[in-house]
């Protein structure tokens, strides 16, 4: 007797092989979207079915959509070929545009390679944040091109009549005045404001005492305790008949609810968002941000510095706690010079020229108090912010002390810092131990070795997140403002710095930075090499993104 073994070639056996099991061989009609060689089919199809369930639900209710989906499945190879071709054509076209823009060779090469090798992601990214050419959106009210404008002409004439223009006594002043198209003025009184308590207490007092107008410009305005406190005060002044005008950056204040803005406008406050990325259908404006923080009251006092309007600067929130930051309040002709920056921005947004402001400067003290207002932005003829910092560093003889939250300089600035140190200048850079920008924090590690080799000393501020933007050069100049040491501030953002040549103010900045350095830890040049390989790779990758940080 012999038993017949089942033959795998028999029709019944083959049919049994073709019968799909419930868990292992069921294929989704959408499986063409994902071809993962080493992922079991049932896992692939389960994930796809779950992800596409909402889409199928919509298709089930709309016959036309079902037909479109079926047509796309039928012609998916042809559609894929068309998509790839269009993507690479757009990448090539964007590459040509890159060549027409003013950017570093490294940045241009990085964009061109990305746009041509992987255009599917690089093209949308370039449209969003890649453009550096601002000519289309240039502000019409620039001091550099409007010397005949009645406001600027009147300001210059008033400064000359009151003998408030200081002579360009050295090369640095000559360069800076030509660069920003504004004069070094004298008769200013500047006071350093350290952290949020001093800054916002002084701001609230000045706003509450306003009689004519309040001009407020901020990169970030939050609807938190401090933001609402400021809003209530602005509404109060508007109801008293004081003109209140507020500018905020659309990107920086993207979390600001419409109810906050409505409370202001309904009570007589004029509010506008600066450089809205969707105002004219363009998405490229998101790359150009108004990073200025400026408050002017009655044309008598002006506040400039690093503090935005948020609880993190006054009370401390989340894991970073209370930010360490610096502001400055000035009286004197620097107020009118700072007012020019606000008027330019207001005109760019509204088309309105604010001529009926206080444009006649008055000296705050009889002698000294020399200072320069340095507004910078992508509409400038030159990279004003970059050249401002480079000139200060190059002019140094004894020391250059820098405090910045985001240290991602370009090669020009790195070379300038190293040359200053090799000349024997005491170059110190204070950056945060903890940061709110992971990319900038990682990128900062990549500079340590080459800076340390040239003698540049880098310190990490340990107690909390340091957000101040300060530079001290010798005993000759100290500048406080909004510009960071990164490509965004150097070339893409609208920034504002106040450079003071006043001995008393310089001494105050020196004492402040000395106290801050006591709470820092010196960073060794081999700090990155001591880290694991994964961390080093993250740092190198972050450095490649320096042009857009």
Tell me which residues are annotated as active site: 291, 293, 298, 467, 469, 474
Return the H-helix or E-strand segment holding 393.
helix 384-394
**What whole-number distance in Å separates Cα of residue 107 and Cα of residue 92?**
16
Q: Give the three-state DSSP class for 474.
A: coil
At residue 204, φ and ψ (nearest 5 deg) are: -65, -40
Is residue 40 within 8 A of residue 46, CB to CB? The reply is no
Look at residues 293, 291, 371 and name the one whose alpha carbon lies nearest to residue 331. 371
Beta bridge partners of 429: 402, 458
**What whole-number distance in Å separates Cα of residue 322 and Cα of residue 338?**
28
**How deeply is 327 buried, as exposed, middle or buried, from its count of CB atoms within 10 A (0-12, 13-18, 19+)?**
buried
Residue 459 neighbours by CB under 8 Å, 6+ apart: 428, 429, 430, 431, 517, 520, 521, 522, 523
Answer positive or negative: Cα dihedral of 257, 261, 264, 266. negative
Match 């916002």 to its residue by tokens: 200
Residue 458 neighbours by CB under 8 Å, 6+ apart: 428, 429, 431, 447, 448, 451, 452, 522, 523
Tokens found for residue 46: 């389960």
Enumerate helices (H) and strands (E) in the chain, giving the number of each: 20, 17
Tokens found for residue 72: 């796309």
Q: Give the three-state DSSP class for 113.
A: helix
Tokens found for residue 135: 């000519």
């Amino acid at each position: 007797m012999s038993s017949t073994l089942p033959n795998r070639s028999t029709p019944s056996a083959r049919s049994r092989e073709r019968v799909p099991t419930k868990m292992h061989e069921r294929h989704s009609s959408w499986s063409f979207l994902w071809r993962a060689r080493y992922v079991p089919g049932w896992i692939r199809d389960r994930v796809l079915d779950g992800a596409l369930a909402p889409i199928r639900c919509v298709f089930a209710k709309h016959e036309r959509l079902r037909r479109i989906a079926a047509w796309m499945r039928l012609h998916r190879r042809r559609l894929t070929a068309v998509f790839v071709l269009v993507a690479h054509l757009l990448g090539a076209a964007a590459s040509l545009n890159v060549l027409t823009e003013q950017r570093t060779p490294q940045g241009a090469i990085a964009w061109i390679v990305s746009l041509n090798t992987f255009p599917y992601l690089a093209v949308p990214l370039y449209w969003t944040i890649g453009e550096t050419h601002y000519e289309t959106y240039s502000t019409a009210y620039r001091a550099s091109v409007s010397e005949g404008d009645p406001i600027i002409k009147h300001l210059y004439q008033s400064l000359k009549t009151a003998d408030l223009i200081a002579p360009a006594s050295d090369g640095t002043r000559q360069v800076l005045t030509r660069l920003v198209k504004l004069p070094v003025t004298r008769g200013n009184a500047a006071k350093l404001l350290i952290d949020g308590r001093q800054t916002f207490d002084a701001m609230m007092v000045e706003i509450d005492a306003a009689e004519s107008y309040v001009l407020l410009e901020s990169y970030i305005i939050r609807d938190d305790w401090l933001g609402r406190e400021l809003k209530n005060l602005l509404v109060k002044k508007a109801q008293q008949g004081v003109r209140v005008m507020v500018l905020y950056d659309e990107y920086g204040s993207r979390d600001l609810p419409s109810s906050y803005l409505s409370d202001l406008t309904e009570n007589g406050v004029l509010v506008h968002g600066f450089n809205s990325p969707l105002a004219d259908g363009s998405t490229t404006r998101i790359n150009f941000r108004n990073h200025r923080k400026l408050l002017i009251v009655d044309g008598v006092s002006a506040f400039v510095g690093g503090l935005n309007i948020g609880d993190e600067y006054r009370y401390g929130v989340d894991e970073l706690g209370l930010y360490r930051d610096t502001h400055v309040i000035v009286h004197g002709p620097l107020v009118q010079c700072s007012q020019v920056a606000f008027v330019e921005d207001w005109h760019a947004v509204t088309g309105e020229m604010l001529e009926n402001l206080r444009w006649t400067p008055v000296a705050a003290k009889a002698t000294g108090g020399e200072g320069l207002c340095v507004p910078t932005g992508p509409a400038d003829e030159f990279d004003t912010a970059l050249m401002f910092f480079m000139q200060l560093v190059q002019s140094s003889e004894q020391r250059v002390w820098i405090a910045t939250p985001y240290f991602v300089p370009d090669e020009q600035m790195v070379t300038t810092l190293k040359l200053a140190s090799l000349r024997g200048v005491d170059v110190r850079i204070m950056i945060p131990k903890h940061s709110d920008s992971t990319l900038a924090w990682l990128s900062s590690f990549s500079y340590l070795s080459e800076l340390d080799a040239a003698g540049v000393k880098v310190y990490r501020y340990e107690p909390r997140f340091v957000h101040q933007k300060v530079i001290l050069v010798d005993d000759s100049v100290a500048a406080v403002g909004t510009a960071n040491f990164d490509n965004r501030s150097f070339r893409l953002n609208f920034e504002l710095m106040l450079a003071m040549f006043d001995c008393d103010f310089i001494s105050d900045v020196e004492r402040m930075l000395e106290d801050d350095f006591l709470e820092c830890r010196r960073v060794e040049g081999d700090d990155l090499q001591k880290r694991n390989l994964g961390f080093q790779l993250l740092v190198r990758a972050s450095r490649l993104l320096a042009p857009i940080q």
